[in-house]
Amino acid sequence: MKRLPIIAAALAVLAVLVYSSVFIINERDQAIVMRFGEIRRVVKEPGLYFKVPTNFVETVQIIEDRLLSFEIENLRVLVRDGRRYLVDAFVAFKITDPQKFRENVSGSLLQATENLRTRLDASLRRVYGQRSFEAALSEQRAAMMVEVRDQLIPLAAELGIEIVDVRIRRTDLLPEVSQETFNRMKAERLAEAAELRAKGTQESLRIRAEADREAVVTVAEANRDSEILRGQGEGERNRIFAEAFEQDPDFFEFYRSMKAYETAIEGTDTTLVLSPDSEFFKFFLSAAGADDRGAAATGGSTASAQ
């Protein structure tokens, strides 16, 4: 019975020694085993591991092995033309070299994050300061994020950290300059619209002038061609008349007179005042004389018969 307390104490000491010599690493962690403050080994695989009992000889520092991130908000940056933005950005990173991480920041995630945050702040200011106002709102934004990431990589490598991604989440104008910028952009767009309208008006006048010139040329050519055709037609008509006149002058003269009568008395209310011996009535008088002679001949024949 007197040995029971001694046995219990021995078992307790043994349990403490066993407990202090065992450590477990899960899939989200990695560990550094240090002996008297010096790094002895790095454990990256999950599992059950052993070390020298008690923390006086060997200690274990657990370090994150998952994807980590931090962000920076409402950072005021100055662009090349003197205006300012409010920028939000975040960085995703992972601790890939626990030994460097321990040696440079004593394994402190908070200190490592602050170092990266300071470098991110400086990188954002530098990248924005090299560009114009419109660049951050254009397709250059992706190139800007790559440039910021490239500037973070050297510092991160010294800390045993890998930069996985850098994202610029927001780029806004300061409230006090938003209206001014809006007014300026509106004025620029209005000026561009006015310039386009002026160019359009000028182009329309040019096209209209060309169309008018082409129309004048076309009409002139058509008139010329019509005059040529008319002249040719009149020449052909005169040739035909001349041939007809040569074949039968009396009939031709009669035909011309008939056309003149037709033209002269075309209207129903036409009145002609002419001398009785006018050549114009030659065929009328001839026709009348023929009628009288015919009537007289008919009368004489009748009288003889009687």
- Average pLDDT per block of 10 residues along the chain, 306 residues long: 67 62 81 81 78 74 88 88 86 92 89 94 91 77 90 93 91 72 81 91 90 89 89 84 74 73 66 64 56 46 36
What angle, 0 to 180 degrees and rounded to 10, lies between the N-to-C axes of helices 140-158 and 109-129? 140
* C-alpha span between 210 and 171 (Å, rounded): 51
Q: Give the model's pLDDT for residue 273.
A: 67
Which single residue is written with the structure tokens 């790094």? 39
Q: Can you say how many angstroms the Cα of residue 172 is from the centroid of all Cα atoms in its chain?
A: 23
CB atoms within 10 A of CB 191: 10
Q: Give the model's pLDDT for residue 185.
A: 79
Of the candidates 147, 140, 110, 153, the residue with the CA atom closest to the CA atom of residue 125: 147
| Rg (alpha carbons) of the chain, rounded to whole number | 59
Q: Give the model's pLDDT for residue 265.
A: 67
Quick check: helix, strand or coil at residue 131? coil
Say which DSSP state 81 is in: T
* C-alpha span between 74 and 124 (Å, rounded): 12
Q: Give the model's pLDDT for residue 166.
A: 92
pTM of the model: 0.53
CB atoms within 10 A of CB 210: 10
- Any idea how long the chain is? 306
CA 103-148-185 angle, to 5 degrees, is 155
CA 60-66-68 angle, to 5 degrees, is 110
CA atoms within 13 A on the CB side of 69: 11
Instruction: Quote the tokens at residue 190.
Output: 């209005």
Q: Give the model's pLDDT for residue 155.
A: 92
